[in-house]
Structure 1
């Protein structure tokens, strides 16, 4: 069941509406993550950045997000911070808008940092709010995660043609959706006190059951997965442009296909987890991801590469929403902290590895970089093997 009736008798439809608003703000927030990747690719073509330069800009986004996000999650667990979600999505929009009009490399890095800080502020509070509305349902979290995937997919799909048509100087117009999402999110967070009070009371008595060892293994698996996501975001458009000779728009569309396939993987992962257990989508997802990366690296024809991208998107996103739910179950007393790590720190760790993969791509080619990335899902599978089972009723 997606959402359960609250003890106070609140209609499930009201909870579904609240989840819909949270999912909508996630669409907008992660739209800027996808748009940032597209803008960086356009900046690389415009200024002739190397692979290391491209991954350096992505590192600026991911590093700023990863450093701050767990701290903000800890604060959200201890204090009421409903404003953080709206402030985050607005800041991420401003950073993305500024990125397109920067001229120097270091100014571009500064704008990327602003976007990363906004991403950091948004996720812990919003994911904790989803837990308050949806309980421990992996399906509810997967719908919320789906919003992020939709936004991430729309980012390059919408931003690339828009900026190719009007030029990078039109990027300030991209801030408009952030303003609307900030207002809608602020109104939603003001009306969540009933579920927030119940969740905070439960968290205050659940901290003693926090399983940090299991959470550590989960964090390792998410970190390995994040290296794949960041690597694909860095290299995929350039792979199709430089290896298969497609246009810039078609190169961006390859990234859009990757994230669109991820929409399917996210929803399927949540349903599978609620029906057959949380680790099953993790196993299948990481196995498919490693296979797809190898096929993509050796693909002799474009259509084979396109099929590999679709499999890569489904496989790498099967664990997405499930990882957040598992993190919150392993740390039932620190839901926002768990969200900050599973959606922030662990996901952003891949950004720290991105320059290393950029060096491999510069020195040995994109195919070698993709084959190296294929090792990361195997590491994730080793970590998943160490995860203990957790009951849906563990927190009750």
Structure 2
């Protein structure tokens, strides 16, 4: 008997999860957006400000696989609302008081909140989508929109009221907490109460760790390119186009807007051509696109920025579903690595690019970014399309209900 659900029932949980994802990932982008205000109001050095950014990114990158491993052993849907609130409260408290140690600590707490959210939310999104990479694209889109919105939110609040207005930044977290509770109820999971055993929710299948590690290496390459461009594209666009601050802002807007479009396009292209083929093409096309950004002067920089953004974001949600299908017995770990560790590790390249720019020039420092999509393509070229699991549940099984009882067949 078919297990297809009515559209309203099948899409509502994913829409709610996507919106909650946007609310949580605002706080990934908010930390970097707060740096100029720490510099101006508290006279932090660049090193001190970088330490705060690293507190969020490093703790988040290390903690996400740990949370993923925990959710593999035992489902913890209550983590979603708790982590959404934690991510926002940490950032909201960062403007209170002048203590560097306190600021570092609350930003680190926010990073842990972000880390706790992603593996479990990806697992639940997989349940709600029945493993569909197109539907998972909607979930990933929410995070991309949240990240891109963060600078606008921080500017609107802190530029007006100063760092003392930072408690207002908790508003998206409150909305995200409510959305998480609604999503859990919609998908059929209890928000605050008992969770099911992770073992009972694992689909049959064999983990392909080699394929997963090869893909994860490619995601690291992608992350290095994205972080490098995000950090320095605004300044570089001013240099290459001869424009002012608006030229740099426009370049960043193109980079983020292309991400939103690319995430949606990735799922649709994969439906037609297959996930691994689309991911490989994306990495291959990103090589000349990044070369254009770095080497071609003038207004064409914006065209190449758009192409680079599409190349970086088309495979974004496909990484998640491929990782989960390569590790069907460790879905939480797969989500923690693909959404967390490999993405955050790329942030370590930022200080190296900055140091190289100080020693030479910004163009020279950005030139190595051209090689990373090519390296990612080499890692991906031998990957196979994993078989879709046959028993991803349409709704979450109860505490005593095996996954087989809700098989798609």
TM-score with structure 1 setting the length: 0.87
Mapped pair 1:258 → 2:255:
yes
Mapped pair 1:129 → 2:112:
no
Residue segments in structure 1 that go unaligned for 5+ positions in a row: none
Q: In structure 1, what is the equivalent of residue 335 of structure 2?
A: 339
Relative to structure 1, the CA distance from residue 221 to residue 273 in structure 2 (aligned partners, 3 Å threshold; closer, same or farther) is same
Q: Give, in whole Å, the separation in 2 of the partners of 1:111 and 1:119.
A: 13
Q: In structure 1, what is the equivalent of residue 396 of structure 2?
A: none
Q: Give, in whole Å, the separation in 2 of the partners of 1:126 and 1:64.
A: 18
Deviation at 1:55, TM superposition (A): 5.0
Mapped pair 1:220 → 2:217:
yes
Q: In structure 2, what is the equivalent of residue 86 of structure 1?
A: 81
Q: Give, in whole Å, the separation in 2 of the partners of 1:308 and 1:199.
A: 48
Q: In structure 2, what is the equivalent of residue 273 of structure 1?
A: 270
Alignment of 1:230-249 (within 5 A): 230-240=227-237
Deviation at 1:102, TM superposition (A): 6.5
Deviation at 1:316, TM superposition (A): 0.8
Deviation at 1:190, TM superposition (A): 4.0
Contact 1:37 1:233 in 2 (8 A): no
Alignment of 1:1-396 (within 5 A): 7=3, 10-44=5-39, 47=43, 49-50=45-46, 55-100=50-95, 103=98, 107-193=102-188, 203-206=201-204, 209-240=206-237, 251-301=248-298, 303-392=299-388
C-alpha distance after superposition, 1:324-382 (max 9, x if no partner): 00000001111111101110111111122322222212222221221122222111111
Deviation at 1:13, TM superposition (A): 1.5
Contact 1:77 1:334 in 2 (8 A): yes
C-alpha distance after superposition, 1:205-248 (max 9, x if no partner): 52x51111111101101111111222222222333456667565
Q: Give, in whole Å, the separation in 2 of the partners of 1:105 and 1:135.
A: 45
Deviation at 1:304, TM superposition (A): 2.5
What SS does the aligned partner of 1:209 have?
Answer: coil
TM-score with structure 2 setting the length: 0.85
Contact 1:225 1:380 in 2 (8 A): yes
Deviation at 1:176, TM superposition (A): 0.8
Q: Give, in whole Å, the separation in 2 of the partners of 1:237 and 1:111.
A: 28
Contact 2:285 2:311 in 1 (8 A): yes
Contact 1:82 1:186 in 2 (8 A): no
Q: Pick which of 347-356 and 246-255 moved more.
A: 246-255
Contact 2:72 2:332 in 1 (8 A): yes
Relative to structure 1, the CA distance from residue 161 to residue 216 in structure 2 (aligned partners, 3 Å threshold; closer, same or farther) is same
Deviation at 1:95, TM superposition (A): 2.5
Relative to structure 1, the CA distance from residue 268 to residue 313 in structure 2 (aligned partners, 3 Å threshold; closer, same or farther) is same
Q: Pick which of 139-148 and 27-36 moved more.
A: 27-36
Relative to structure 1, the CA distance from residue 205 to residue 19 in structure 2 (aligned partners, 3 Å threshold; closer, same or farther) is closer
Contact 2:241 2:297 in 1 (8 A): no
